[in-house]
């Protein structure tokens, strides 16, 4: 139907190559509108389901554990690595200008506003977002979603909403864990290896980093958690009914989530610059 619609709207006198190009372009645009409409409906049903968690409260608790405690170790490793790198490069940089005391302030500001929310979201995308897409796609293949519909249970409210809500809540907590581990490692590196004064390290933090910076980072991470979870569930929910479809849904969920997170991060930072 789509091909007939696209071809019928193109004059017959056009060259064949141009006709084919316009036909494909029309199909692509039309398909994007269809996907956008599906996602809007999926989003609305997910938001409604998040307000009705009685049936899926147990799944919500399981997802809190899956996203939170089971991701804490890899978040700790990433935070430690980031803190050690900051300690080496920032200490060396500030030492050139005799400003080693700003190490703690610079690390806190950078981690709170940008590094921790973005890196934390990327890690959770790779671990949890991809798993959500794979789980939902496997349920689709096994017809579990269809079975819930037959029993009168909305699969979006039952499976998707608790996953999205749990990720939205837990990612900011993981970001706080990331920041804490990173600052400890930056402190150890600066004090033990670059002779940064321990008292000055903490005293200078309020000079650059404000509570609003941390709040901004936590708001970002909550938005990122919502994005990666709803994208992962949407891709899996609409996957093709085949083993190949599971892999395609997982790959698409990861790449789409990362792209949207980066665009959203830039947009939020730009708006914050205009507002403040």
* Residue 154, token pair as written in the block: 């909305």
Q: What pLDDT, on the 0 to 100 scale, is given for residue 79?
A: 95
pLDDT tens readout for residues 189-241: 998 888 888 888 888 888 888 889 999 999 999 999 999 999 999 999 998 88
Q: Count Cβ atoms within 10 A of the Cβ of residue 275 and give its class: 0-12 exposed, 13-18 middle, 19 or more buried.
A: exposed
More confident residue, 128 or 30: 128
Coil vs helix vs strand at 48? helix
Q: Which of 51, 73, 93 is the last residue of a domain?
A: 51
Q: Which of 34, 51, 68 is the last residue of a domain?
A: 51
Asked if pLDDT for residue 8 goes beyond 70, the answer is no
Whether residue 87 is found in the same domain as residue 37: no
Whether residue 259 is found in the same domain as residue 181: yes
Asked if pLDDT for residue 37 goes beyond 90, the answer is no
Answer for the pair 45, 154: CB distance below 8 angstroms, yes or no: yes
pLDDT tens readout for residues 43-96: 999 999 888 887 788 999 999 998 988 899 999 999 999 999 999 998 888 888
State the Cα–Cα distance between residues 269 and 69, nearest whole angstrom: 29
Q: How far is CA 193 from CA 66, 76, 91, in A?
A: 37, 22, 9
Whether residue 47 is found in the same domain as residue 69: no
Provide the pLDDT confidence category of residue 2 given band limits of 50, 70 and 90.
very low
Which DSSP letter does residue 101 get? Answer: G
Whether residue 11 is found in the same domain as residue 67: no
Provide the pLDDT confidence category of residue 12 given band limits of 50, 70 and 90.
low
Measure CA of the first residue to CA of the last residue in the chain; give whole Å: 51
Q: Count Cβ atoms within 10 A of the Cβ of residue 31 and give its class: 0-12 exposed, 13-18 middle, 19 or more buried.
A: exposed
Number of H helices, E strands in the chain: 14, 0
Q: What pLDDT, on the 0 to 100 scale, is given for residue 15?
A: 67
Please, which contacts does 24-27 make with residues 24 or more away whose CB atoms are closer than 8 Å?
A: 27/2, 27/3
Whether residue 242 is found in the same domain as residue 133: yes
pLDDT tens readout for residues 157-193: 999 999 999 999 999 999 999 999 999 999 999 988 8
Whether residue 44 is found in the same domain as residue 80: no
Q: What pLDDT, on the 0 to 100 scale, is given for residue 119?
A: 95
Whether residue 71 is found in the same domain as residue 202: yes
* Mean pLDDT of the residues in the chain: 88
State the Cα–Cα distance between residues 191 and 197, nearest whole angstrom: 6
**Residue numbers of the domain that contains 166:** 56-275
Provide the pLDDT confidence category of residue 16 given band limits of 50, 70 and 90.
low
Whether residue 120 is found in the same domain as residue 255: yes
Domain count across the chain: 2
Q: Which of 28, 51, 74 is the last residue of a domain?
A: 51
Whether residue 136 is found in the same domain as residue 259: yes
Whether residue 179 is found in the same domain as residue 237: yes
Cα 158 off chain centre by? 22
Whether residue 30 is found in the same domain as residue 123: no
Q: Which of 178, 180, 183 is nearest to 87 (CA)?
A: 183
More confident residue, 167 or 21: 167
Quick one: the chain helix, strand, coil %, rounded to 5? Answer: 85, 0, 15
Whether residue 37 is found in the same domain as residue 74: no
Q: What pLDDT, on the 0 to 100 scale, is given for residue 136?
A: 92
């Amino acid at each position: 139907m789509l091909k007939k619609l696209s071809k019928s709207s193109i004059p017959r006198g056009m060259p064949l190559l141009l006709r084919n190009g316009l036909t494909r372009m029309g199909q692509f645009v039309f398909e994007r509108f269809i996907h956008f409409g599906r996602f809007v409906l999926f989003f609305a049903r997910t938001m409604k389901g998040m307000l009705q968690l009685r049936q899926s409260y147990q799944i919500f608790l399981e997802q809190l554990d899956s996203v939170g405690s089971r991701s804490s170790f890899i978040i700790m490793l990433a935070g430690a690595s980031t803190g050690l790198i900051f300690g080496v490069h920032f200490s060396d940089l500030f030492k050139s200008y005799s400003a080693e005391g700003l190490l703690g302030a610079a690390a806190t500001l950078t981690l709170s506003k940008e590094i921790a929310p973005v890196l934390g979201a990327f890690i959770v995308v790779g671990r949890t977002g991809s798993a959500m897409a794979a789980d939902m796609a496997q349920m689709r293949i096994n017809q579990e979603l269809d079975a819930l519909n037959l029993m009168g249970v909305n699969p979006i409210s039952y499976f998707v909403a608790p996953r999205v809500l749990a990720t939205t809540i837990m990612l900011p907590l993981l970001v706080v864990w990331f920041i804490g581990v990173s600052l400890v490692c930056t402190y150890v590196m600066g004090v033990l290896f670059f002779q940064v004064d321990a008292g000055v390290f903490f005293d200078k933090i309020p000079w650059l980093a404000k509570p609003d910076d941390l709040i901004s980072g936590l708001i970002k991470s909550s938005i990122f958690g919502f994005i990666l979870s709803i994208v992962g569930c949407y891709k899996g929910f609409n996957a093709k009914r085949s083993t190949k479809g599971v892999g395609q849904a997982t790959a698409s969920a990861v790449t789409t989530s990362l792209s949207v997170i980066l665009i959203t991060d830039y947009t939020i930072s730009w708006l914050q610059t205009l507002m403040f």
